Amino acid sequence: MTDPFAPPPDEIGTEFDVIIIGAGPAGLCAAMYCGRGMLRAVVLERGIPGGELLNTEKIEDYPGFISILGPDLADKMAEHARQFGADIRMEEVTSVIRRDDAIFEVATATGATFTAPAVILTAGGTPNKLGIPGESEHAGRGVSYCAVCDGAFFKGETIAVIGGGDAAVEEADYLTRYAKKVYIVHRRDEFRAARVLQERAFFNPTIEVLWNQKVLEMLGDGKGLRELELEHSVSGLRSRLAVTGAFVFIGFTPNSGLVKQHMDHDAAGYIITNDRMETSIRGLFAAGDLRVQLTRQVTTAVGDATTAAIAVEKFLTARKALLAG
């Protein structure tokens, strides 16, 4: 696929002040601030700019927009970044390595290598999917992976939360403020969630737990999701559950594996940073969904990115002074 916004061939280079990996909200915000800081930056993104915004139907919790379609917000963010000179290139990053001379080499699937003394990793992550028929067809039309993002669209409806860990049980409780009925569909006979979260769910009259149930298929019509086909993991009996929403919480995989050297992270692979978004690898910054934090929203992503971009500018200024001295 050709990137329509790519620079002319005679302007293409591979040496930069900073390389931004990922063009979701965090990456685009970082690019805007780097442009304002007069840094020579490049944003590498394997697809169209926007990240998870492209998979979100409506955004109603981003300041300044009472309601906006996810792809429309993505377009506005990309346009804003380009107004400040953002160089966004359609490149799939395969590895990030810091050389002995403290310069980063970022390799891509096309065989290109980009270099810079600083990198901002905003590659985000991916909610784990069930991988069943109907899931992708109803994504954004009944199927969601974010309760905070989409819960308000299901006021007075009957919905299902799929999973049994902390996220599933906690978000099920959160969704009861909107839905009239919330089923937790779990393939085992007990939760993995923390006991305090379990107790909260068990005592919530709006929540009903369906134990030992595996979701086989998501069924609907042109208007959206209508039913889940379930199979009991012990008896093998199948049944249908009438719901208009299904929230899938079976894990989230951060794209931190792009960095081929060790850096501090938690047990799930989320990157640990300080308050300047610096990782344990000097010159490598992280922002957005792949960083350890309480919540993952568009607002937190751009906040992280703002801090990271400004911190990179200060890092490069200090580096330049050190090399000159």
Spatial distance between the Cα atoms of 106 and 42, rounded to a whole number of angstroms: 11
150 is catalytic: yes
Cα dihedral 217, 219, 222, 226 sign: negative
The phi, psi pair for 35, rounded to 5°, reads -65, -45
Q: Which of 87, 149, 289, 304 is catalytic?
A: 149
Q: Which of 150, 173, 289, 304 is catalytic?
A: 150
29 is catalytic: no
Both tokens of residue 81? 């970044």
Q: Which of 72, 75, 146, 166 is catalytic?
A: 146
Cα dist. 165→162, 191, 195, 250 in Å? 10, 6, 11, 7
For tokens 């915004």, what's the residue? 53
| Ramachandran region, residue 238 (left: φ > 0; alpha: ψ -120 to 50; beta: rest) | beta
The phi, psi pair for 264, rounded to 5°, reads -65, 135
Cα dist. 186→76, 105, 121, 183, 230 in Å? 39, 43, 34, 9, 10
146 is catalytic: yes
- Cite the active site residues: 146, 149-150
